[in-house]
């Protein structure tokens, strides 16, 4: 349960796609999006955390992104989250060139830094991992990983998925990709489920529905499938993500700035 809460609240970006699909010609301008993570069980519905995603285009046409996620005070005793994900992405492909993640989750502090290089169709990731123990001592470990592209991380995947040509895909299509997740590489499987109408804060949106799950070499299915809905218009904003918990469900909902 804690792993699911951590993934959904801290990243909000568990959306991706595979190398078998071409990206559409969607370009990004500067933007700031905010989300709320809501716990829902029967008649109980309570906001557990908040996150802000900011994207800035740099002079060389590459991008800088930052995601800040925080649990609300009532949820802190259950599992406190104070996470910051920052990174840079290449122009055009939105593939990552730098990933910097600082997490304070459940009293534990970790800091990961990944530098990417590309050769042919392979991404090479140089990983630095810092961990603080209960006595405040920090240890460092280094590793090098590689994966076929597109290979993304928990930040760049949020933007990469929005460029994919869902409008040409058939419902039921399943695709796979790779994602760098700390000390390991996970496989990402996504099922495109077609277009759906989604009502959020009194507004109905035409969306692409996606079901997805993670797996690694050690586990055939390291996460139960989750669902996401992405607007079909030119913004391609993900407006909703939903995951089941042992008791209830967690929903990550977009805060529409026009509905204040």
3-class DSSP state for residue 77?
Answer: helix
- pLDDT higher than 70, residue 8: no
- What's the pLDDT band for 142 if we cut at 50, 70, 90? very high
- pLDDT higher than 50, residue 231: yes
Closest Cα partner for 212 from 18, 6, 5?
18
Mean pLDDT of the chain: 84
Q: Which residue has the higher pLDDT, 130 or 220?
A: 130
The pLDDT tens digits for 12-41 are 444 333 333 445 557 788 999 999 999 888
Strand partners, 198: 205
| Predicted local distance difference test score (pLDDT) of residue 144 | 94
Is 91 within 8 Å of 60 (Cβ atoms)? yes
The burial class, CB within 10 Å (0-12 / 13-18 / 19+), for 204 is exposed
The pLDDT tens digits for 63-94 are 999 999 999 998 888 888 899 999 999 988 88
Tell me the C-alpha distance between 97 and 86, whole Å: 11
| Predicted local distance difference test score (pLDDT) of residue 53 | 95
Closest Cα partner for 77 from 101, 48, 37, 111?
48
| Predicted local distance difference test score (pLDDT) of residue 116 | 96
The pLDDT tens digits for 45-56 are 899 999 999 999
- pLDDT higher than 80, residue 100: yes
What's this model's pTM, rounded to 2 decimal places? Answer: 0.83
């Amino acid at each position: 349960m804690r792993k699911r809460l951590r993934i959904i609240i801290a990243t909000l970006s568990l959306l991706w796609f595979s190398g078998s699909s071409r990206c559409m010609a969607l370009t990004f301008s500067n933007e700031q999006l905010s989300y709320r993570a809501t716990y829902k069980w029967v008649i109980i519905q309570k906001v557990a955390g908040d996150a802000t995603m900011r994207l800035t285009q740099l002079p060389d046409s590459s991008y800088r992104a930052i995601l800040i996620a925080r649990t609300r005070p009532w949820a802190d005793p259950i599992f406190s989250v104070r996470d910051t994900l920052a990174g840079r992405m290449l122009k055009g492909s939105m593939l990552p060139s730098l990933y910097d993640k600082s997490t304070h989750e459940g009293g534990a502090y970790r800091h990961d830094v990944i530098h990417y290089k590309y050769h042919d169709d392979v991404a090479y990731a140089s990983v630095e991992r810092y961990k603080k123990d209960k006595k405040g001592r920090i240890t460092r470990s280094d590793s090098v990983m590689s994966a076929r592209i597109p290979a993304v991380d928990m930040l760049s995947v949020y933007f990469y998925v929005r460029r994919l040509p869902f409008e040409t895909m058939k419902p039921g299509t399943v695709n796979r990709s790779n994602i760098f997740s700390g000390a390991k590489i996970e496989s990402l499987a996504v099922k495109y489920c077609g277009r759906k109408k989604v009502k959020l804060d009194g507004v109905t949106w035409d969306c692409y529905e996606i079901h997805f799950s993670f797996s690694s070499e050690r586990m055939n299915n390291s996460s139960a499938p989750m669902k996401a809905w992405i607007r079909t218009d030119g913004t391609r904003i993900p407006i909703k993500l939903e995951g089941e918990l042992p008791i209830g469900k967690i929903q990550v909902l977009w805060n529409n700035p026009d509905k204040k």
